[in-house]
Structure 1
């Protein structure tokens, strides 16, 4: 079981982006890596549980979170203003793998699942400036942060109202990283299998969480290696480990 790493942070900004998306930046020294998450709360007793939110961006002095208002917890986050305090527990999770030996990388995100891909793109370009990073983003409504994503990749493809998985040719890449609705990631996995793509696929699962440190079983998912805890063993797994179980 992981230890709690709770700290108080000060909200630096909390910007409404449209379509109920918000981008919040919190002043907090951190060592967050791409693909990790924090358990956040801005309340004392209710709701009972903190909310798992992916790291959108991070530097030595601050960490940013892209979230969407979908319930009471995120509704309370949306009310926060600069100067307000918020409790951060993290960073948790294994994060995305280093891909320094890959020359062509694709990042595929859907909905709020686009959140961890921004820092991933920045990190991959920093680790290997010679690699090519293409980003594919899918939205059901008005796209958000597309200008920001354009600054960290070689090519950005945005799909609105359709299936972002239709836009990618898996055989064109040496590695593929994805985060979003489970059904989207499963379709992408099946597409990789069907076209016999050699690129490894890494999926970031978005299961509901309660503790965030592996103390409960709320976020468990079935894999080839038995039930795994998304918060402790993940959230990043190989696509074949999660979706290959049915093959």
Structure 2
């Protein structure tokens, strides 16, 4: 059980929650959150937005009963968190290009921050696409070398990748598929997949996805995959 330090609405239906946690967290990993007894049945998988020793932060969108309950929690309330789960984004030696769409921008902030901490002289460019309301843009601008923003359009239309950049993306599957097709094959591309999850540890097989090398579990084998594994470019 974790104690909520803050839980605020930062944009319509978008909340940022920080809770107590001590442990090791990698960019791209997620937790299973629960603040109810039996209804809804399943916990909610929420990706890590940020982490500092003693505190993990989640950025989530209110879309159903579970997230509506999470949004009503106050500072000092308890919330059950299990994790971190998943393989996360790998550390890289070259420059980084990040592409996020909608609530898919959530796990990319900790990725960029972690990258700049490990490689302060490395170059990191960030593409952020939103349908209507943008959020967290200033936070990205504070840590990235360049931020390209698109509201209401198609962010991948603006995507320009340098030969030495590694691309990491999270967002709607149609956007990530576009990234996979747009980026030259010479560049390495990692995608963070989303799926309905029941357990978070691969036991229930509820989040199985088809890959080039057979069916895999998004929660355990992912959520981060190489693009050629899931989009067959």
1:237 and 1:209 mapped to 2: Cα distance? 17
> Are 2:84 and 1:91 equivalent residues in the alignment?
yes
Q: Is 1:222 equivalent to 2:210 in the alignment?
A: yes
Larger helix fraction of residues: 1
Partner Cα distance (1:173, 1:74) in 2:
39
Q: Tell me by how many angstroms 1:30 deviates.
A: 2.4
1:171–1:197 contact (8 Å) kept in structure 2: no
When the two structures are superposed, what TM-score results if normalisation uses the length of structure 2?
Answer: 0.97
Alignment partner, residue 194 of structure 2:
206
**Residue of structure 1 in register with 2:155 after alignment:** 164
What whole-Å deviation, never above 9, does each CA across 1:138-166 have from its counterpart, x for those lacking one? 11111011111111100111110111111
Deviation at 1:170, TM superposition (A): 2.5
| 8 A Cα contact 2:163 2:186, kept in partner | no
Q: Does 1:144 align with 2:135?
A: yes
Corresponding pairs, count: 233
Shift of 1:172: 4.7
Aligned equivalent of 1:242: 230
Matched, 1:36 2:29: yes
Say whether residues 1:80 and 2:68 are aligned partners: no
Say whether 1:57 aligns with 2:50: yes
Distance 1:216 1:14 in 2: 30
Q: 1:68 aligns with which of 61, 64, 71?
A: 61
Maintained 8 Å contact 2:97/2:168: yes
Match of 2:169 in 1: 178
Distance in 2, matches of 1:127 and 1:17, equals: 29
Q: Residue 154 of structure 1 corresponds to which residue in structure 2?
A: 145
Q: Does 1:105 align with 2:93?
A: no
Once residues 122 and 189 of structure 1 are traced to their aligned partners in structure 2, the CA distance between those partners, rounded to angstroms, is 23
Extract unaligned runs of 5+ from structure 1: 1-7
TM-score if structure 1 supplies the norm length?
Answer: 0.92
**Residue 169 of structure 1, CA deviation:** 1.1
Q: Which whole-Å CA distance do the structure 2 matches of 1:235 and 1:22 have between them?
A: 22
Match of 1:115 in 2: 106
Give the secondary-structure state (helix, strand or coil) at the position aligned to 1:232.
coil
Compute the RMSD of aligned alpha carbons: 1.0
Secondary structure of residue in 1 paired with 2:229: helix
* CA distance, structure 2, for counterparts of residue 156 and residue 94 of structure 1: 26
